[in-house]
Chains A and B, each alone.
Chain A
Amino acid sequence: MITGSSSDIEIFQKIASADSKALEALYNRYAPILYTTLRKIVTDERLAEEVLTEVFVIIWKKSILFNPELSSVYAWLVLLARNKGVDVVRRLRENSTMPEYSDEYEDEFIIPMLSPVIEKIDYRIANGLKVNVENALIKLTDAQQYVLSLAFYDGLTEKEIAEKLNIPTETVKAKIRTALTNFKTNLMGKS
């Protein structure tokens, strides 16, 4: 039975065996962070709620594609919501040039493909890191924060960021590398 102290792994295993109570437990645990992510990406409150609904339906249908014992539940869920949110915004902006939204498309571009070698982070660890993450982001320059925001929340590709900022793509690539590396150093130290 799923309780408040059940691990994310247990919850995911139950979801994979079609236990909707487990999905409800996952919702209670992760809806705030996923909704916060979506509000930042799609802005509109009602649209963010609708996308959040879609995200949980994807989790229900596709949890079988994810092995929580070997991976980072928090990263998988947040990146899934991020990818879905960015995709919705892109389709609203440029629907005619977007490929059809199919099951295959979802598996390739919406479901995150995490590295098989990854530290396991769950909501408890992520909650504990909140203040450190804020401080690590604040230490970045305004330009570094901006470029990270354009990439992560606005969902722009490196080429699109280059066009938007009117700078060479190579410069954007270098800025992204530096920004994320500095963020890592600020958060985890040089080692």
Chain B
Amino acid sequence: MLNNKIQAYALGCLDPEETRQFRTDIKNDPDFNLKELGKYQNLAALFPSALSAEIPDEKVKEKIARKLYRLKQKTGIEVEPQEGEPPKTNPIRDIASEIINKSPAETGSDKFVRITGQTREPASFEETRKSKEFGDIKLTSTHALRPVKRSHLYIYSAAALILGFAIAFVFFSNKTASYQDEVERLNGEMQKLNSDMAVNSGLLSLLQKKDTKVYLLAGSETYPDGFGRIYLNYSTSRAYLYLSGLPVPSVGKKYQLWFMNSGGTFPIGLFTPKTDEGYFYFTMPKLGRETGRRFLLTEEPEEGSVTPGRKIYLRSPD
């Protein structure tokens, strides 16, 4: 009986009470199949690897560094809010209410980062780490320097030696950082290649099926240089959209694909190409086999539209 709940627990679809009960039960059951549970948890975690990979904006990293810095301030020295400092906010709640209430024209603003101006905040994780290591020790120069009886030569030699070490340290640090950057860049490229390989393999398998049809999409008057193709398999409803020569949609906009037949016009999905060429996987809804099948690609607000707008980028030729 307990083993019957393994899959649901691994997927996270038991309600909170059932989750608690399941955890208690497995603790009390020496025969419970923990290996099977581990297997299903790994399997559930693998689901997202089948999605088209998306890369977060660079500013996210900076935002995390800021949060860690604030966390350190919070746990280390409690900083009283300064006069004029913005009130403490819940960024997720802020964005959520913004999404709920937003009009398309407002989508370009960035309200995540609130810098008080009272404290310099770190731009990288490394700075946060340094401040963590060294605490909040501040060097001050309030004491007047007293004359010291040492020869100038001795002082200059020591200064030159320190300067030499400092230059060497900076040189080697930069060198190491550039190697790390290179490794990270190669890792990113590897992930992209894996993603491309998945698309190619999915497309190949689609093209090998006998019920696959290819639709051509030509550029419209708005964008005559654009070009596209749809590879659609009617038995599985799986499809790939290929886009080429189209601009990256403007802020707050996405491309929306439409299917038209004698039964009407149906929205298929929203797509955001990040370069001027790419493949996008989608599932075609079951819409029957009415005659006069055609596709249309328009630019729409990022939440999508119910009917196609006027800005048509691609369409199936007549």
Contact = CB atoms under 8 A, between A and B. Distances in A.
Interface of A: 3-5, 18-21, 23-24, 27-29, 31-33, 35-37, 39-40, 44-54, 56-57, 60-61, 72, 74-75, 78-79, 82-83, 86, 88, 92, 99, 108-109, 112-119, 121, 126-127, 129-131, 133-135, 137-138, 142, 148, 151-153, 155-159, 161, 173, 176-177, 179-181, 183-184, 187
Contacts of B39: 118-119, 184
B236 interface: yes
B92 A88 contact: yes
A7 B184 CA distance: 14
Nearest to B65: A20
Contact of A115 (B34, B129, B197): B34
Contacts, number: 239
Chain B interface extent, by class: 35 or more
A137 B50 contact: yes
B250 interface: no
A117 B35 contact: yes
Contacts of B167: none
B282 interface: no
Given A109-B16, A137-B50, A131 B129 contact: no
Interface of B: 4, 7-8, 10-16, 18-20, 23, 34-35, 37-57, 59-61, 63-65, 67-68, 71, 91-92, 95-96, 99-100, 112, 124-126, 128-129, 132, 179-180, 183-184, 186-188, 190-191, 194-195, 197-198, 201-202, 205, 236-238, 302
Residue of A32, A86, A159 with highest tally of chain B CB at under 10 A: A32
A8 to B, nearest CB: 13
A34 to B, nearest CB: 8
Given A23-B125, A151-B12, A50 B56 contact: no
A109 B19 contact: yes
A52 B42 contact: no
Nearest to B98: A46
Nearest to B57: A49
Q: Is the interface of B mostly helix, strand, loop or mixed?
A: helix
B34 to A, nearest CB: 4
B43 A180 contact: yes
9 contacts: A3-B180, A4-B184, A23-B125, A49-B56, A53-B63, A57-B71, A72-B38, A130-B194, A181-B7
Listed residue (A56, A83, A115, A161) with the most chain B CB atoms within 10 angstroms of its CB: A115
Contacts of A51: 92
A46 B115 CA distance: 18
B35 A33 contact: no
Given A20-B129, A49-B56, A176-B8, A27 B45 contact: no
Nearest to B238: A138
Given A27-B64, A72-B41, 10 more contacts: A18-B132, A21-B125, A27-B125, A32-B191, A35-B55, A40-B48, A49-B59, A52-B56, A78-B48, A180-B43
B183 A39 contact: no
B50 A50 contact: no
A133 B49 contact: yes
B11 A152 contact: yes
B49 A24 contact: no
B126 to A, nearest CB: 6
Contacts of A50: 91-92, 95, 112
A5 B187 CA distance: 10
Contacts of A32: 53-56, 191
Contacts of A112: 41
